[in-house]
A and B are shown apart, each in its own frame.
Chain A
Amino acid sequence: MSAGETDIGGMDTPQSGLAARAGRAARWRTRQAVQFWLKWIMVALAYLFLHAPLVVVVGASLNGGGQFAAIQFPPVNPSLEWYFEIPARQFEALWLSFVVGAVAAVGAIAIGVPAALGLVRSNLPGKTFIAVVFRSPLQIPAVVSGIAFLQMYYMIGDATGFYAQGTFIGLAIGHVFIAIPYVVGPVTAILQRFDHRLEEAALSLGASPWRTFRRVTLPVIMPGVYAGGLYAFMVSFGDVPLSIFLTAPGYVTYPVELFFALENDFNPAILASGTLVILFCLAIMILVQRVVGLDTLLRVGGTGKGR
Chain B
Amino acid sequence: MGVRSKGLAFISLFAIGLASVASAHAEQRFDGVVLRVATFGGSNKDVLDAAVSPKFAALGGKIEWVTGSPQSNLAKLIAARGKAPFDTMEILDAQLPDFAASDFLAPLDLEKIPNKQYLEDWQYDGKTMATWLTQETICYNTEKFKELGLPAPTTYKDLAVPALAGRTVIPDITSGGGLANFGGIVYAAGGDLRNVTPGLELIKSLKVLKFWSQGGETVTQFGSGDIYAAVVHAGWCVRAKNAGSPVQTVHPYINAEHTGVHKYGRQGVMKSSENYEAALWYINEYLSIETQTALAVKTGVFPTNKAVIARLGDDPTLKQMLELDPAKISKQLRVDYTDVSISDWVDQWNRSVVTN
Contact = CB atoms under 8 A, between A and B. Distances in A.
Contacts of B320: none
Interface string A63-79: 00001111110000000
B42 A154 contact: no
A38 B88 CA distance: 61
Contact of A248 (B66, B176, B244): B66
Given A67-B242, A249-B66, A151 B80 contact: yes
A245 B75 CA distance: 8
Interface in A233-282: 244-245, 248-250, 252, 257, 259-267
A87 B50 CA distance: 14
A260 B42 contact: yes
Contacts of B42: 260-265, 267
A17 B101 CA distance: 92
B214 A262 contact: yes
A198 B75 CA distance: 53
B69 A260 contact: yes
A261 B214 CA distance: 11
A303 interface: no
Contacts, number: 90
Contacts of A232: none
Contact of B216 (A69, A147, A150, A260): A69
Interface string B303-337: 00000000000000000000000000000000000
A61 interface: no
Contact of A70 (B76, B78, B81, B223): B223
Contacts of A71: 220, 223
B44 A264 contact: yes
A302 interface: no
Contacts of B243: 68-70
Interface in B204-221: 214, 216, 219-220
B35 to A, nearest CB: 11
Given A165-B85, A260-B69, A70 B220 contact: yes
A137 interface: no
Contact of A165 (B78, B80, B220, B240): B80
B80 A150 contact: yes
Given A244-B72, A248-B66, A267-B42, A69 B36 contact: no
Interface in B17-35: none
Given A69-B242, A166-B85, A249-B64, A260 B79 contact: no
A150 B67 contact: no
A75 B67 CA distance: 30
A155 B340 CA distance: 33
A67 B244 CA distance: 11
B276 interface: no
B67 to A, nearest CB: 4
Contact of B76 (A150, A263, A267): A150
Interface string B149-191: 0000000000000000000000000001000000000000000
B44 A265 contact: yes
Contact of A245 (B40, B41, B79, B244): B79
A90 to B, nearest CB: 11
Interface in B48-93: 64-69, 72, 75-76, 78-81, 83, 85
B127 interface: no
Nearest to B78: A147
Contacts of A250: 64
Given A70-B219, A150-B76, A248-B66, A264 B85 contact: no
A89 to B, nearest CB: 10
B239 A69 contact: yes
B295 to A, nearest CB: 12
B123 interface: no
A147 B67 contact: no
B80 A264 contact: no
B158 to A, nearest CB: 25
A69 B219 contact: yes
B299 A265 contact: yes
Interface string A84-115: 00010000000000000000000000000000
Given A69-B242, A70-B216, 12 more contacts: A69-B216, A87-B46, A248-B85, A249-B65, A261-B41, A261-B42, A262-B216, A264-B40, A265-B42, A265-B44, A265-B216, A266-B220
Interface of B: 36, 40-44, 46, 64-69, 72, 75-76, 78-81, 83, 85, 176, 214, 216, 219-220, 222-223, 239-240, 242-244, 299
15 contacts: A67-B242, A69-B216, A69-B219, A70-B216, A70-B219, A70-B239, A71-B223, A150-B79, A252-B67, A259-B41, A260-B69, A263-B41, A264-B44, A265-B42, A266-B220
Interface of A: 67-72, 87, 147, 150-151, 154, 165-166, 244-245, 248-250, 252, 257, 259-267
